[in-house]
Chain A
Amino acid sequence: AQSVAQPEDQVNVAEGNPLTVKCTYSVSGNPYLFWYVQYPNRGLQFLLKYITGDNLVKGSYGFEAEFNKSQTSFHLKKPSALVSDSALYFCAVRDKTDSNYQLIWGAGTKLIIKP
């Protein structure tokens, strides 16, 4: 069965420090992987996705994510955190071979950036 795990409910980072939000997945085939961000009282905003090719994917607001097939991970990173990055982050996966086409969502990680 397909699944996504975001092992940390909350991540606390000081402003200016690098941040990492973790995501691991389990699919039977090869994955499409997505990151979304949700600010308070807002809808989810697409950040970036991995389809194929370069394992390092760059997205919006200076975020990037690295696809690691051997570790089945797709961690979200940013070199220098901003207070405005504080939000809820969701990882999602779709199995390329799954005819259902549905995204499987992680439970979300709350990112808190302290000044």
Chain B
Amino acid sequence: DSGVTQTPKHLITATGQRVTLRCSPRSGDLSVYWYQQSLDQGLQFLIQYYNGEERAKGNILERFSAQQFPDLHSELNLSSLELGDSALYFCASSALQGASGGDTQYFGPGTRLTVL
């Protein structure tokens, strides 16, 4: 158990809908990262937050957004869902913002999103 929790574990929804995925980082970790893993695209970095502020953006669609709250939990919002958004969405956390280099990311169990 990494100490990172994600809810829900599974989510089934229809095209055009909006969903929110939730992540609670390990105790004391300030950084949260969101990743998308699909069969044909591998692991794709979406976005990183550090202590409530956006730190880096990866291949995140404009339909997707995220935030990190004062208690450091994070939410990933996916809107106008398309069939191709079906994937595993992982959250990871680390102690720092990555500047120390050796900062290790610890992953949650993921949320499996199915868009029908």
Contact = CB atoms under 8 A, between A and B. Distances in A.
Interface of A: 32, 34, 36, 42-46, 49, 51, 90, 94, 96, 100-103, 105, 107-108
Interface range for B:
20 to 34
Interface of B: 2, 4, 42-43, 45, 48, 55-56, 58, 90, 92, 97-99, 101-110
Contacts of A90: 43
Contacts of A42: 109-110
Given A42-B109, A43-B110, A101 B98 contact: yes
B82 to A, nearest CB: 23
Q: Majority SS of interface residues in chain B?
A: loop
Given A45-B107, A49-B104, A101-B97, A108 B42 contact: yes
A96 B101 contact: yes
A52 B103 CA distance: 13
Contact of B105 (A46, A96, A107, A108): A46
Contacts of A101: 55-56, 97-99, 101, 103
B56 A105 contact: no
